[in-house]
Amino acid sequence: MNHNDELIRYFASAPEMMPVYRVFEDRVTEQCAPRGPLAIRVQKTQITFSNRYNFACASLPVRRKKGWPNPCLMITFGLEHRLESQRIAVATEPYLNRWTHHVLVTRPEDIDDELMSWVCAAYDFSLTK
């Protein structure tokens, strides 16, 4: 199955989120691929972006907190420090100095320079593991 068919299958339950995802994928490819290796895997529960390690994911939230938009796309990435921003829906520290951040996006315009700066920092951080 080709990448486009995998995306159509993944977004079958929320097809209106595919254009938002496409902007995200395009920007990750444009900004991270020049830094080094980049692989994109469409899986059952998420779309994973990796270099040597996973650095970001895009997913349709299965479990929602009250007040989250529906539909939305969750962008997840890891950094060595906790980001302080109202855009961060959830931040956890599963390992010492390894913070996982979740940002909810609903429109292509939400894939902005601020979000991409965090994702590119996550790309760089994953190379230090």
Q: Is the pLDDT of residue 129 over 80?
A: no
64-104 tens-digit pLDDT: 778 888 899 999 999 999 999 999 999 999 888 899 999 99
20-75 tens-digit pLDDT: 999 999 999 999 988 889 999 999 999 999 999 999 999 998 777 788 888 999 99
How much is the pLDDT for 66? 80
How much is the pLDDT for 11? 96
How much is the pLDDT for 79? 96
Burial class (CB in 10 A: 0-12, 13-18, 19+), 12: exposed
How much is the pLDDT for 80? 95
- Cα–Cα distance for residue pair 21/99, rounded to 1 Å: 23
Phi, psi of 55 (to 5 degrees): -125, -20
